[in-house]
Amino acid sequence: MPIDPNFETNRERVGEENGVTVWGPVDPPEQLGIHGTHVAVDYDICIADGACLEDCPVDVFTWVDTPGHPESEIKVEPTREDQCIDCMLCVDVCPVDAIDVDPGRAGRT
């Protein structure tokens, strides 16, 4: 199941990690929620293949450790989502549809 494009409405903002908004539910290490707002990554389905990180022309993503998560023990975090140019490459290359970019959410990180 892909990331919920309406997560801002359907999920609760539960805090921040590394300056990035986190949307719940969160129950580590199995359930890590969605990280980011303008550029959002569903950590619960991300398999960390790195395609988004490699293809992003403005280096929005960085690796973070997620030890014990059943899908992967690292994830890509939209650390610099404010730099996103809305090219949608990350959305296009994600094999599990774990990323959503919404220009309408820009500036609401």
Please check whether residue 82 lies inside any domain of the structure: yes
Any domain includes 13: yes
pLDDT (0 to 100) of residue 108: 54
Question: Looking at the domain assignment, is residue 32 inside a domain?
Answer: yes
**Binding-site sequence positions for Zn(2+):** 35
Annotated binding-site residue numbers: 35, 46, 52, 56, 84, 87, 90, 94
- Domain residue limits at 50: 7-100
**39 within a domain of the structure (yes/no):** yes
44: domain CATH number is 3.30.70.20
Residue of 89, 88, 82, 85 whose CA lies nearest to 107: 82
Residue ranges of the annotated binding site for [4Fe-4S] cluster are 56, 84, 87, 90
Let me know if residue 2 belongs to a domain. Answer: no
Instruction: Establish if 30 belongs to a structural domain.
Output: yes
| DSSP of 26-72 | -BTTTB--EE-SSEEEETTT-----HHHHH-TT---EEEE-TT-SS-
Binding residue positions for [3Fe-4S] cluster: 46, 52, 94
Domain-located, residue 108: no
The count of structural domains within the chain is 1
Q: Residue-wise pLDDT tens for the chain (109 aa)?
A: 899 999 999 999 999 999 999 999 999 999 999 999 999 999 999 999 999 999 999 999 999 999 999 999 999 999 999 999 999 999 999 999 999 999 887 665 4
pTM: 0.94
Residues pairing with 15 in the sheet? 22
Amino acid at 18: N
Q: Quick one: residue 101, left, alpha or beta (phi over 0 = left, psi -120 to 50 = alpha)?
A: beta
